[in-house]
Amino acid sequence: MSQMKHFLLFGLLFPILSQTVAAGSVADGIMVDDPYVRAVPPGQPNSASFMVLHNKGDKGSALTAVSSPASEVAELHTHTMDDGMMRMRKVEKIDLPAGEMVELQPGGLHVMLLGLKQELVPDQKVPLTLIFDDGSSVQVEAPVRKLQMKMKQGDHKRHMH
């Protein structure tokens, strides 16, 4: 277990992309690609994070939880069409089939950050801990990015951010 301790320490000192795992765990076989967090205007209580998860292991697993010091709560969400309206709903887990890539992206699966504790300024790095179904975890630093999206603002003109 001293090896795990070493990895944990390494993760704190070099917060780029580190795995807080022992060999053979689910986290060991998961590659996290291009993680980022959506920038939101000041006062917005929530945001979301997106990334690509590549399960390079030979057995299927799942992302079961995420935690971040940036928000009170982090949930796993998906979008569904409901009477022609896109709605988000919480999911228990995000399945990661063996050898496949699963994309968390706007309008689809995402990590919901509820109750932001800080303003999310572009280029700032948000630490996320991804927890898998065997209890192993991976820590990533997700930069904050502005997304191109239409904002509805009452009767005001729609504009691009």
Query: Comparing C-alpha atoms, which of 72, 139, 77 is closest to residue 108?
Result: 77
- Report DSSP state, residue 83: T
37 counts as binding Cu ion under rule CB under 5 A: no
Nearer to Cu ion, 32 or 110 (CB): 110
40 counts as binding Cu ion under rule CB under 5 A: no
Nearer to Cu ion, 38 or 77 (CB): 77
Query: Comparing C-alpha atoms, which of 70, 47, 54 is closest to residue 129?
Result: 70
Query: Comparing C-alpha atoms, which of 30, 61, 62, 66 is closest to residue 50?
Result: 66
Cα–Cα distance for residue pair 107/70, rounded to 1 Å: 22
Cα–Cα distance for residue pair 141/17, rounded to 1 Å: 7
**Site track for Cu ion across 48-67, x = CB under 5 A:** --------------------
76 counts as binding Cu ion under rule CB under 5 A: no
Nearer to Cu ion, 8 or 88 (CB): 88
Residues 79-138 within binding reach of Cu ion (CB under 5 A): 88, 112
Contact residues for Cu ion, defined by CB under 5 A: 77, 88, 112
